[in-house]
């Protein structure tokens, strides 16, 4: 009997040992296999999560990983219990001493434990299968695909909500890479700012944000940021928070919505005060990332409201704004050039036209914004770098602004001359209004003065001497990639019509263009689903559009968030006179069910101040396997929502003709379940 019991004991012990090993293999090996693709702190997933969660104060763990680990732990505990029950059943059998009732109990424990173990293993297999399919559906290869999970996002970055709100635009862009080391930084606000709240009048001339007439050394000859700090303006390395030495701050006066003030600031980082050029960001041997922070100490120029802070947390989610960009190891030595113009050279346009010049890269805004002033035989812009001449027309009223990512100059007339189909004002250039003029159209000429180069072999320019890019390279007016020095003698026309200045002529007629633009395609299209977080948001217009009006395109969110999604538009102009507008944006949230409603209002206009009414836009849902709307145009009218009747049918609401914009948004919110 003893020999039989020993044999049974060893059989049970062997079975328990094998079961334990199997359970350990089942519950531990998958984690080891997944270690690199799921929980390795150095993996792509964990690195990405750290970037997202650090500003939020949240755990740096994917919610899917949390759920998966909880399930695995629970099943693991059940497995341990099953092993304990097997051992207990063996103990009962061993100590039965021939007691048939105790042996029967032991058999029951063994059978029930085996059934339970089978259920546990099946449950684990099902859970693993479901999790793998979920991760595959969200773009992860899991342990089978060799990829890494992309952490879901439930909130946009803290400190980003101001972009698209009080901050209109900035350069470098958010998360831009390969930024030249010799770049300057530009920020444009939607409201006038109080320059003396963050700039020291280093030059002592009573003006905050300028330089001496001749700049021999940036640090010695220009106004400074008061201090490099989080409260005002900070520029620091992203890896070790090391601040730069200092910064020059220049301002550009312009008029927005009829209000004159300082909307744009240019920041020249100073890393070497002893160098004439102020030194460069980054390193010549490796790319380096920088964080720019604008703090609550910067004030609005709003004395009626006691000059409040630019950043209000109740509106923007935070009382500061910050973004990151990464420098390359190289300097920018390539010159900017003109890519397209409106009106085109030697063409005739109606008087309700915006003058538009689109460049190959972002420009330095100093000296190319503001209004025209009368001079001998021509008109000259504030700053002395843009000139205009007409034969029989008076001084054009209006304002030149650098917009569209600092790549497009637009002169917007301010002389009201009617209303468009949406009831908004249209504005006109002066035409044949000089005393004694007897004409129906007039000749116009425009000249852009290139910055003066430091020598004949380089496009590197003297500071503030003319039109240049943000690295200080002078305009290459004739695109021959060779520096040319145009004369500066008077009269401007014709003496300065030489490279590298850029100049052209056109005619303006005493007529008004009232043809309306429409949207040809949108991306994502109507009712697009399963949109990725970085999905392109764009539209194609039937006409050449006013780039600055694209900043009025909005994005409504449901549910709303404390930190709104950041957004900033960029428009390209096609040779066929259509326009492509892309709305750069923060990541669409994907950890929750989230709805987005792009809103293109009547304030979005073409270059003749026409809104898209009467007009049309895409109406049909996206097709299978695509997120692009079907084309809406004259060839495919069946794909269009057409607003062509009376003003009581004034908009397209998710592809259908509607009446009131607020009612449309309410409807969309209520039906987004």
User: Looking at the predicted structure, is the pLDDT value of residue 444 above 60?
Assistant: yes
Between CA 204 and CA 239 the distance in angstroms is 37
Specify whether the CB–CB gap between 367 and 387 falls below 8 A: no
Encoding tokens for residue 631?
């084309």
* pLDDT above 90 as % of the chain: 57
pLDDT of residue 308: 96
Q: Which of 53-67, 478-492, 535-549 has the lowest mean pLDDT?
A: 53-67
pLDDT of residue 126: 77
Between CA 615 and CA 652 the distance in angstroms is 9
pLDDT bin (cut points 50, 70, 90) of residue 114 is confident
pLDDT bin (cut points 50, 70, 90) of residue 1 is very low
Domain residues for the domain of 260 are 167-327
Specify whether the CB–CB gap between 492 and 387 falls below 8 A: yes
Residues 396 and 486 in one domain: yes
User: Looking at the predicted structure, is the pLDDT value of residue 393 above 90?
Assistant: yes
Residues 278 and 316 in one domain: yes
Angstrom CA distances, 73 to 28, 34, 362, stand at 10, 15, 55
Give the gyration radius of the chain's Cα atoms. 33
Half-sphere exposure (Cβ direction) of 464: Cα atoms closer than 13 Å: 21
Half-sphere exposure (Cβ direction) of 403: Cα atoms closer than 13 Å: 29
User: Looking at the predicted structure, is the pLDDT value of residue 619 above 90?
Assistant: no
pLDDT of residue 18: 52
The secondary structure of residue 305, as a DSSP letter, is: G
Residue 253: count of CB within 10 angstroms of its CB: 17
Between CA 613 and CA 546 the distance in angstroms is 16
Strand order, beta sheet including 372-375: 348-350, 502-509, 441-448, 386-390, 378-381, 372-375
Specify whether the CB–CB gap between 293 and 226 falls below 8 A: no
Residues 6 and 79 in one domain: yes
* pLDDT above 70 as % of the chain: 79
pLDDT bin (cut points 50, 70, 90) of residue 275 is very high
Q: What is the CATH number of the domain that holds 302?
A: 2.60.40.1220
Between CA 523 and CA 540 the distance in angstroms is 9
Specify whether the CB–CB gap between 355 and 402 falls below 8 A: no
Residues 188 and 320 in one domain: yes
| pLDDT (average), residues 114-121 | 80
Residues 210 and 261 in one domain: yes
Specify whether the CB–CB gap between 158 and 55 falls below 8 A: yes
pLDDT of residue 154: 52
pLDDT bin (cut points 50, 70, 90) of residue 595 is confident
Encoding tokens for residue 78?
């059940």
Collect all residues with Cβ–Cβ distance below 8 Å to 258 and sequence separation of at least 6.
414
Encoding tokens for residue 237?
């390395």
pLDDT of residue 41: 34
User: Looking at the predicted structure, is the pLDDT value of residue 30 above 70?
Assistant: no
Residues 459 and 538 in one domain: no
pLDDT of residue 562: 78
Between CA 605 and CA 179 the distance in angstroms is 32
More reliable by pLDDT, 304 or 73: 304
Between CA 37 and CA 160 the distance in angstroms is 30
Own/partner long-range contacts of 478-482 (Cβ < 8 Å, ≥24 apart): 478/502, 479/337, 479/338, 481/335
User: Looking at the predicted structure, is the pLDDT value of residue 473 above 60?
Assistant: yes
DSSP E strands: which ranges in 285-368?
Answer: 288-294, 321-327, 338-342, 348-350, 355-359
Residues 559 and 644 in one domain: yes
| pLDDT (average), residues 302-324 | 89
Q: If you write DSSP's letter for every residue of 60-125 in order, what string do you get? A: SS-HHHHHHHHHHHHHHHHHHHHHHHHHHHHHHHHT-TT-HHHHHHHHHHHHHHHHHHHHHHHHHH
**Residue 332 within a domain:** no
Which of 295, 327, 359 delimits the end of a domain?
327
pLDDT bin (cut points 50, 70, 90) of residue 172 is very high
More reliable by pLDDT, 391 or 626: 391
| pLDDT (average), residues 26-35 | 42
- Strands 246-256 and 259-270 come out as antiparallel
How does 642-655 read in b/e, with b if 16+ C-beta sit within 10 Å?
bbeeeeeebbbbbb
Angstrom CA distances, 179 to 278, 290, 316, 363, stand at 17, 11, 27, 14
**Residue 150 within a domain:** no
Write a three-state SS string for 139-199.
CCCHHHHCCCCCCCCCCCCCCCCCECCCEEEEECCCCCCCECCCCCEEEEECCCECHHHCE
User: Looking at the predicted structure, is the pLDDT value of residue 252 above 80?
Assistant: yes
Which of 307, 327, 347 delimits the end of a domain?
327
User: Looking at the predicted structure, is the pLDDT value of residue 667 above 70?
Assistant: no
pLDDT of residue 68: 66
Residues 381 and 463 in one domain: yes
**Residue 29 within a domain:** yes
Looking at the structure of the chain, the number of domains it has is 4
User: Looking at the predicted structure, is the pLDDT value of residue 403 above 90?
Assistant: yes
Which of 282, 306, 327 delimits the end of a domain?
327
| pLDDT (average), residues 549-575 | 91
Specify whether the CB–CB gap between 112 and 89 falls below 8 A: no
pLDDT bin (cut points 50, 70, 90) of residue 470 is very high
Between CA 578 and CA 583 the distance in angstroms is 17
| pLDDT (average), residues 53-61 | 38
Residue appearing with tokens 């709307």 = 629
**Residue 527 within a domain:** yes
More reliable by pLDDT, 181 or 164: 181
Collect all residues with Cβ–Cβ distance below 8 Å to 372 and sequence separation of at least 6.
379, 380, 381, 388, 395, 396, 398, 400
Specify whether the CB–CB gap between 212 and 296 falls below 8 A: no
Specify whether the CB–CB gap between 286 and 431 falls below 8 A: no
User: Looking at the predicted structure, is the pLDDT value of residue 331 above 80?
Assistant: yes
User: Looking at the predicted structure, is the pLDDT value of residue 22 above 60?
Assistant: no
**Residue 156 within a domain:** no
Whole-structure pTM value:
0.76
The closest alpha carbon to 316, from 160, 175, 168, 174, belongs to 160
**Residue 85 within a domain:** yes
pLDDT bin (cut points 50, 70, 90) of residue 227 is very high
Collect all residues with Cβ–Cβ distance below 8 Å to 239 and sequence separation of at least 6.
288, 289
Residues 531 and 566 in one domain: yes
| pLDDT (average), residues 220-232 | 97
The closest alpha carbon to 152, from 533, 561, 497, belongs to 533
Q: Which of 139-153, 425-439, 462-476 has the lowest mean pLDDT?
A: 139-153
User: Helix, strand, coil: what percent of the chain each, to 5?
Assistant: 25, 30, 50
More reliable by pLDDT, 315 or 374: 374
Residues 388 and 502 in one domain: yes
Residues 525 and 569 in one domain: yes
More reliable by pLDDT, 376 or 628: 376
Decide: helix, strand or coil at residue 547: helix
pLDDT bin (cut points 50, 70, 90) of residue 512 is very high
pLDDT of residue 634: 77
Residue appearing with tokens 């270690």 = 35
User: Looking at the predicted structure, is the pLDDT value of residue 177 above 70?
Assistant: yes
The closest alpha carbon to 514, from 656, 402, 613, belongs to 613
Q: What's the distance, CA 309 to chain centroid?
A: 23
Residues 487 and 464 in one domain: yes
User: Looking at the predicted structure, is the pLDDT value of residue 544 above 70?
Assistant: yes
Specify whether the CB–CB gap between 362 and 376 falls below 8 A: no
Average pLDDT value for the chain: 83
Specify whether the CB–CB gap between 43 and 114 falls below 8 A: no
Between CA 148 and CA 632 the distance in angstroms is 39
User: Looking at the predicted structure, is the pLDDT value of residue 358 above 70?
Assistant: yes
pLDDT bin (cut points 50, 70, 90) of residue 58 is very low
Between CA 32 and CA 517 the distance in angstroms is 59
**Residue 333 within a domain:** no
The closest alpha carbon to 594, from 651, 539, 555, belongs to 555
More reliable by pLDDT, 467 or 82: 467
**Residue 514 within a domain:** no
Specify whether the CB–CB gap between 195 and 207 falls below 8 A: no
pLDDT of residue 345: 98
């Amino acid at each position: 009997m003893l020999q039989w019991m020993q044999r049974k004991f060893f059989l049970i012990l062997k079975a328990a040992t094998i079961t334990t090993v199997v359970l350990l293999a089942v519950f531990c090996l998958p984690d080891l296999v997944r270690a690199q693709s799921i929980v390795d702190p150095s993996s792509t997933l964990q690195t990405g999560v750290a970037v997202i969660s650090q500003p939020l104060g949240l755990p740096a763990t994917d919610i899917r990983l949390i759920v998966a680990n909880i399930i695995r732990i629970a099943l693991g505990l059940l497995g341990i219990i099953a092993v304990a029950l097997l051992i207990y059943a063996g103990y009962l059998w061993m100590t039965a001493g021939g007691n048939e009732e105790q042996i029967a109990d032991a058999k029951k424990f063994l059978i029930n434990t085996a059934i339970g173990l089978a259920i546990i293993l099946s449950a684990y297999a099902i859970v693993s299968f479901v999790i793998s399919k979920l991760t595959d559906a969200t773009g992860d290869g899991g342990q089978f695909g060799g990829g890494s999970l992309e952490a879901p996002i439930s909130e946009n970055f803290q400190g980003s909500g101001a972009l698209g709100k009080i901050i209109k635009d900035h350069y470098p862009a958010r998360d831009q890479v390969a930024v030249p080391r010799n770049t300057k930084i530009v920020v444009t606000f939607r409201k006038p700012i109080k320059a003396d709240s963050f700039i020291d009048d280093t030059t002592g001339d009573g003006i905050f944000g300028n330089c001496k007439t001749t700049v021999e050394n940036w640090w010695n000859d220009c106004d400074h940021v008061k201090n490099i700090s989080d409260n005002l303006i900070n520029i620091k390395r992203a890896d070790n928070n090391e601040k730069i030495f200092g910064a020059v701050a220049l301002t550009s006066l312009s008029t927005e919505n009829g209000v004159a003030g300082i909307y744009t600031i240019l920041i020249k980082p100073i890393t070497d005060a002893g160098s004439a050029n102020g030194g460069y960001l980054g390193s010549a041997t490796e790319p380096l990332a920088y964080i720019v922070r604008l703090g609550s100490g910067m004030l609005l120029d709003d004395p009626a409201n006691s000059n409040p802070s630019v950043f209000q947390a109740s509106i923007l989610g935070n009382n500061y704004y910050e973004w990151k960009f990464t420098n390359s190891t190289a300097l920018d030595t390539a010159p900017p050039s003109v890519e397209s113009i409106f009106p085109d050279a030697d063409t005739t346009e109606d008087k309700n036209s915006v003058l538009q010049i689109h460049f190959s890269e972002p420009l330095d805004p100093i000296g190319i914004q503001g209004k025209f002033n009368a001079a001998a035989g021509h008109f000259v812009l504030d700053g002395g770098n843009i000139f205009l001449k007409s034969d029989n027309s008076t001084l054009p009223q209006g304002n030149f602004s650098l917009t569209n990512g600092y790549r497009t100059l637009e002169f917007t007339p301010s002389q009201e001359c009617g209303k468009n189909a949406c009831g908004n004002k249209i504005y006109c250039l002066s035409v044949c209004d000089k005393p004694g003029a007897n004409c129906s159209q007039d000749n116009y000429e425009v000249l852009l003065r290139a910055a003066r180069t430091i020598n004949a072999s380089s496009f590197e320019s003297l500071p503030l001497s003319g039109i240049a890019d943000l690295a200080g390279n002078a305009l290459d007016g004739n695109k021959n990639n060779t520096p040319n020095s145009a004369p500066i003698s008077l009269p401007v026309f014709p003496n300065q019509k030489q490279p590298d200045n850029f100049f052209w002529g056109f005619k303006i007629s005493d007529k008004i263009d009232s043809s309306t633009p429409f949207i040809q395609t949108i991306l994502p299209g109507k009712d697009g689903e399963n949109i990725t977080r970085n999905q392109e948001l764009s539209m194609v217009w039937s006409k050449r559009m006013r780039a600055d009006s694209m900043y009025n395109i909005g994005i409504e969110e449901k549910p709303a968030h404390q930190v709104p999604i950041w957004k900033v538009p960029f428009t390209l102009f096609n040779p066929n006179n259509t326009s492509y507008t892309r709305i750069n944006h923060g990541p669409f949230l994907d950890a929750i069910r989230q709805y987005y409603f792009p809103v293109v209002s009547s304030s979005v206009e073409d270059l003749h101040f026409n809104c898209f009414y009467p007009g049309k836009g895409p109406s049909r849902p996206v097709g299978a396997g695509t997120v692009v709307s079907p084309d809406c145009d004259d060839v495919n009218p069946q794909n269009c929502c057409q607003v062509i009747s009376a003003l009581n049918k004034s908009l397209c609401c998710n592809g259908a003709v509607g009446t009131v914009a607020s009612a449309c948004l309410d409807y969309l919110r209520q039906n987004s379940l």
